[in-house]
Amino acid sequence: MDRRTIVALPGDGIGALVLKEAIRVLDAAGFDAEYVYGDIGWDFWCKEGNPLPQRTIDLIAKYKIALFGAITSKPKDEAVAELSPELQGKGFNYSSPIVGLRQHFGLDICVRPCHSYKGNPLNFIRRGKDGTPEEPMVDVVIFRQNTEGLYGGVEWSNPPQQVYDALMTHPKFRENFGWCPKEELAVSTRIFTWKYTERIVRAAFEYALKNGYKSVTVCETPNVIRETSGLMWKIAKEMQKKDFPGVQLWNTNIDAQMMWLTKNPEDYGVIVAGNMFGDIVSDAFAGLIGGLGFACSAQFSEDGVGVFEPTHGSAPKYADYKVSIVNPVAMIESACMMLDYINEKNIAARIRKAIADVIEEGRVKTYDMMKLSGRQEVIDMGAASTTEMTDEIIARLK
């Protein structure tokens, strides 16, 4: 096995804490890698006026694979106020380095698996037909288009005249919004391109086929959002017929999906959706398998850049505890997605088995798994610290 170089992006708050733990697990599992550390996050905004410095972009461009903790983002005004005094008033504008990374590297494919671990006290429970509790095992992988749609950033308040004039050429706009003064209008666009819609749908089908999932569900709203959701549905129908006849294609609307996922989550396999619906539906499924302490994700680009990160943020209120309480599993699982991506599937499988064994045994649990609210005292109440949880996972590695 060749020694790999991985870009480690600790970021802010608990991002740095959980990243450290994930690297400990990777080392213990025998993954031979060197980690080069990249600057990203709030400190670099405050000190340099840029939360994603060019040197970090260069590192990722060079090594292609990054493990990322989490960053802190704040609203515009607060961001400006925290800028160091010598940078104030020089026209620096805060924008999220995560969105920046996605856009710069074209990380258009986002994968968010949600698998229940046996014995996780946070697993979703429902009442069965005869009233007895049932614990459906969720095994869903969400493919979210990561660069377009409602989060594409093409939006205006008081749009420029040309945009307004163009909108007025649409009969629905004229009829339903023509009454509104231009300066009172806010418009956010939802742009889907054929190329990147095709890519996310194909990635979903390929994953389903390779990993034995029986269905791909397009979770959009093509009956209402006819052009964009309609495009994804049309592409999926044609692709299934031509290239993936052995995988079933299902169609759910996002609203109905949010209802069904608590009724029959075990029925779903691979789900594909646009940017915002993919974000929503993946958070909802994550809630069924234990929430933010368990939700991992991967993002890939066309030319092979991969960024692997937990879904959770920097949880600043827990960042400075003397003994860290947060659950490292989401970050460690994200590292496993990285291993899969670079074809170190055996190491990934061993780490996942170790996590599964710790959870099933149930002796060592972080505070979230004990259903406590987060505070330093949880350690005295028997919760495992971030480090103890990681130690236990390492001890179970075979």
Window of 120-128, 162-170, 231-239, 272-280 that interacts with Mg ion by CB under 5 A:
272-280
Partner from ligand NAI, Mg ion, none binding residue 273, C-beta < 5-8 Å depending on class: none
Does residue 309 bind Mg ion (CB under 5 A)? no
Does residue 312 bind ligand NAI (CB under 6 A)? yes
Of 368-397, binders to ligand NAI (CB under 6 A) are: 368, 374
Min dist CB 118 to ligand NAI, Å, is 20
Q: Tell me the residue nearest to ligand NAI as measured from the CB.
A: 313
Does residue 314 bind ligand NAI (CB under 6 A)? yes
Q: With respect to ligand NAI, which residue has the nearer C-beta, 72 or 145?
A: 72
Of positions 66, 71, 236, 337, contacts ligand NAI by CB under 6 A: 71
**Whole-angstrom Cα distance, residue 319 to residue 311?**
16
**Whole-angstrom Cα distance, residue 204 to residue 90?**
45
Q: What tokens appear for 376 in the block?
A: 């330093």
Partner from Mg ion, ligand NAI, none binding residue 279, C-beta < 5-8 Å depending on class: Mg ion
Residue with tokens 């004229």: 174
Of positions 23, 138, 315, 335, contacts ligand NAI by CB under 6 A: 315
Q: How big is the CA angle at 135 (ends 129 and 136), to the nearest 5 degrees?
A: 90
Classify 172 as helix, strand or coil: helix
DSSP per residue, 313-332? ---GGGTT-SS--S--HHHH
In sequence order, what are the beta bridge partners of 155?
188
Window of 82-90, 160-168, 305-313, 388-396 that interacts with ligand NAI by CB under 6 A:
305-313
**Whole-angstrom Cα distance, residue 277 to residue 217?**
13
Min dist CB 196 to Mg ion, Å, is 19
Does residue 279 bind Mg ion (CB under 5 A)? yes
The candidate with the shortest Cα–Cα distance to 299, out of 141, 60, 107, is: 107
Min dist CB 32 to ligand NAI, Å, is 27
Total residues contacting Mg ion (rule CB under 5 A)? 1
Does residue 99 bind ligand NAI (CB under 6 A)? no
Residue 201 near residue 239, CB atoms below 8 Å: yes
Min dist CB 17 to ligand NAI, Å, is 9
In sequence order, what are the beta bridge partners of 366?
none
Mutual angle of helices 345-361 and 329-341, in 10-degree steps = 160
Buried b (16+ CB within 10 A) or exposed e, 87-124: beeeeeebbebbbbbbbebbbbbbbbbbbbbeebebbb
Q: Please list, in sequence order, all residues whose beta carbon lies within 8 angstroms of the beta carbon of residue 211, skipping any fewer than 6 positions away.
A: 141
Q: With respect to ligand NAI, which residue has the nearer C-beta, 205 or 321?
A: 321
Partner from ligand NAI, Mg ion, none binding residue 199, C-beta < 5-8 Å depending on class: none
CB atoms within 10 A of CB 349: 13
Min dist CB 312 to ligand NAI, Å, is 3
Window of 78-86, 109-117, 269-277, 325-333 that interacts with ligand NAI by CB under 6 A:
325-333
Min dist CB 99 to Mg ion, Å, is 12
Of positions 25, 219, 232, 326, contacts ligand NAI by CB under 6 A: 326
Min dist CB 285 to ligand NAI, Å, is 16
Please say whether the dihedral angle defined by the alpha carbons of residues 41, 42, 47 and 52, taken in this order, is positive or negative. Answer: positive
Q: Which residues bind ligand NAI (CB under 6 A)?
A: 18, 70-73, 98, 292-293, 309, 312-316, 326-327, 330, 368, 374
Q: Which residues bind Mg ion (CB under 5 A)?
A: 279
